[in-house]
Structure 1
Amino acid sequence: MKKTHYFIAVPLADEVKEKLVQWKNEVAPHFPFRTWVHQEDYHITLAFLGEASSSQRQAVCEAMAMIGKNHAPFSLTLEGIRFFGNSSAPRILWQGVKREEALFALQRDVYEACVRIGFRLDVRPFTPHITIARKWEGEKRFRLEEMRNIVEGSFDVHEIVLYQTHLDRVPKYEVIASVSLSK
């Protein structure tokens, strides 16, 4: 039986997804990554939970409801294409966002709630990002400076979502629960 993973994230507005997919369609033929993320799967992860029992998922939904009541909607602005991994053959190509304290506060509250529920989460510092592509497979070295066209735009964050991962589907993330930010 395949393991199912869950994560909590900020979804993107449809117009931002569309801008990212237009950019991807321009650059993908020139940048051979193994996988380009489906536009419906674009998001900013707040906490990757991994496997979660039914009772843990219920506790997460309850925690999300409380968190939603304590955070007001806010805006994010796209800022720069970056990567994780080796500069000549990155693991992940991603779109960044300008630093927004409201996002970091939201992520801290989500993270702390998930730890209290019993999840063992990544301890690396939070780097908000939207994964665009995975695993460089080019014969030549990857050169970020060759990605001239950038994506610009802002979007409102008004909810957080619990997603389930389906590795055998495209798009592969399914919304399990969603909570509005309503402070």
Structure 2
Amino acid sequence: MSHYFFAAKIPSETKLAMKNNIDELKKQIPFRRWVHHEDLHITLAFLGAAPESNLERACSLVGGTLANANSFPLVINGLGIFGRKDSPRVFWAALSKSEQLTKLRALVFAACEEAGFQLETRPFSPHVTLARNWEGKFPFDPGKLDQPPLNLEFMLEEVVLYRTNIGSTPKYEPVQRFRLTTLNQ
């Protein structure tokens, strides 16, 4: 069964720049599964397996909520891990603090809850997952997180409802897109 989630879409040119960084990191840091660069995103609300009626309602509510939301800049600027320090479960790219992203996430999250989804209650920790499951022969070296920062700036212009297609590469398929209003600069 497919799983669904709402995410902030990273533009293609930023994904390609990240791919180059990921290719270098793969040579130095052994994780079992690396995320395909086309699948890079910032999760806003993970829905899991979802009945069609709930998805339609969530899309309608998210669309209404984001109708007047503006695009804004984000910066990918560091690395981090989740899980045990010596054997991390997730390796990720960090984002600069952004009140706009926190507000966007809150809007999407609230719309999904209103649509009947019971969502994860952990605090929002915006990141871009790069790899999963440490498989090094030695414990993970936290010094690897001190790589020069990626420092990739991009405009967040779209929220997407994705479907997970296990066994496919890339595995996240856009189901519905929600464009944010681009302000004249």
TM-score using structure 1 length: 0.95
Q: How does 1:71-150 map to 2 (within 5 A)?
A: 71-147=69-145, 148-150=147-149
Q: Is the 8 A contact 2:62 2:112 kept in 1?
A: no
Q: What secondary structure, in the 3-state scheme, does the structure 2 residue paired with 1:170 have?
A: coil
Q: Is the 8 A contact 2:62 2:107 kept in 1?
A: no
Q: How does 1:1-183 map to 2 (within 5 A)?
A: 3-147=1-145, 148-182=147-181
User: After superposition, what is the alpha-carbon deviation per residue over 1:59-87, rounded to whole angstroms, capped at 9, x for unaligned?
Assistant: 12111211221311101011210010011
Cα deviation, residue 182, structure 1: 2.5
Query: What do residues 123-169 of structure 1 show as CA deviations (whole Å, max 9, x unaligned)?
Result: 00000000000000101111131352431111001110000001111
- How many angstroms apart in 2 are the aligned matches of 1:95 and 1:134? 12
User: Within 1, Cα distance between the matches of 2:156 and 2:31?
Assistant: 29
Cα deviation digits, residues 30-68 of structure 1 (max 9, x gap): 211000000000000000000111111111211121122
Which 4+ residue blocks in structure 1 deviate beyond 4 angstroms? none
How well do the aligned residues superpose, as a CA RMSD in angstroms? 1.2
In structure 2, list runs of 5 or more residues that go unmatched: none
Partners of 2:149 and 2:133 in 1: CA distance: 20
Superposition TM-score, scaled by structure 2 size? 0.94
For structure 1, the 5+ residue unaligned runs are none
| 8 Å CA contact 1:23, 1:150 repeated in 2 | no
